Amino acid sequence: MEMRNVVANDPTAGGERPRNDAATPGRIPKRLIQTGKNIELPVKLKAAVAGMKLLNPDFDYLFFDDEGVGRFMRQEFPEYCQVFESFRFPIQRYDFFRYLAVYRLGGFYFDLDVFHCSGLSGLLSAGCVFPFEDLNMNRHLRTCHGMDWHIGNYAFGAAAGHPFLRAVIENCLKAQRDPGWVRPMMRHTTPLLQQDYWVLNTTGPGLISRTLAENPRLAETVMVLFPEDVCDRRTWHHFGRFGVHLMDGTWRKRRGFLVNRLLLFWEDLKMKSFSRESVQRGKIRLHWDHEVENNSTPADVPKTK
């Protein structure tokens, strides 16, 4: 099967549904989904996309520009258009869209700054897969759920209609409609970073991690790609052994150089404090027992007993 390139002003390319919709139920279809303002990408991002395509030559590829995102929302989820437009920050709309796109179409979503080193066919049987992101600094997750780590939303895959993505979408809606629901996740956040952490906890890694923690039965259906040592910062922001996220962070609020340096210093001090707690728990976090085909190693998915 040849790679299809679709600039998804019409996400189904003129009314034709992507070909992999006939994939086996419960399996992730061979589909790659990305989004950006337009298809004209800088060289670094073109390199990342080209590498992903070369490693997955039999996957469909869908790129949604801003017009395509809007059309997808109107055609596939008209009931959410008002909420979509009400998000305060553009990144929240992009986050919400990525969950809806994979929920409807199935496949893998990747941020444009993810570089791949291995094909994804070994993950197709997972049903739903998310990466370990990093150790968190969220007292609510740590105290109420015993969860000292995040899953990431820069890359994930799922079969169409997967119930975990359904729960994520519902929580995005809840966070937008009821700010009080978000407040426990925002405690102990410095005022200068309120905007960034609001995004993280309403549509980003904070929200999806909370969804995982609060829904243990759904969590059993999600594969998490853990590193061998969750306390080793060199292993953070990796999509298992399949790729790495460059963490461009272009969505973050722009501040002056001095303010940014001070905030980075503050976050680093805070992370060191939380990391000391996490080190006491050991280097492994257990989640659920999954088998991965072909390109996997035991380090990708630690098994529960």
What confidence score (pLDDT) does residue 189 get?
Answer: 80
What confidence score (pLDDT) does residue 65 get?
Answer: 97
Dig out the tokens for 53 from the structure.
């395509």
Dig out the tokens for 135 from the structure.
């150790």
Interval 76-100 mean pLDDT? 97
What confidence score (pLDDT) does residue 246 get?
Answer: 94
Structural domains in the chain plus CATH codes: 5-279 (3.90.550)
Alpha helices in 124-283 (DSSP H): 139-145, 163-177, 179-186, 194-202, 205-214, 216-219, 257-279
Question: Can you tell me the distance from the alpha carbon of 299 to that of 284, in angstroms, rounded to the nearest whole number?
Answer: 10
DSSP labels, 183-194:
HHHHTT--GGGH
Exposed, middle or buried, 201 (CB in 10 Å: 0-12/13-18/19+)? buried
Residue 32, classed as helix, strand or coil, is strand
The region that residue 261 occupies, defined by phi over 0 for left and psi between -120 and 50 for alpha, beta otherwise, is: alpha
Residue type, 71: R
Alpha helices in 56-110 (DSSP H): 66-76, 81-86, 90-105
Residue 299 above 60 pLDDT? Answer: no
What confidence score (pLDDT) does residue 229 get?
Answer: 96
Of the given ranges (86-90, 150-154, 194-198, 286-290), which has the lowest mean pLDDT? Answer: 286-290
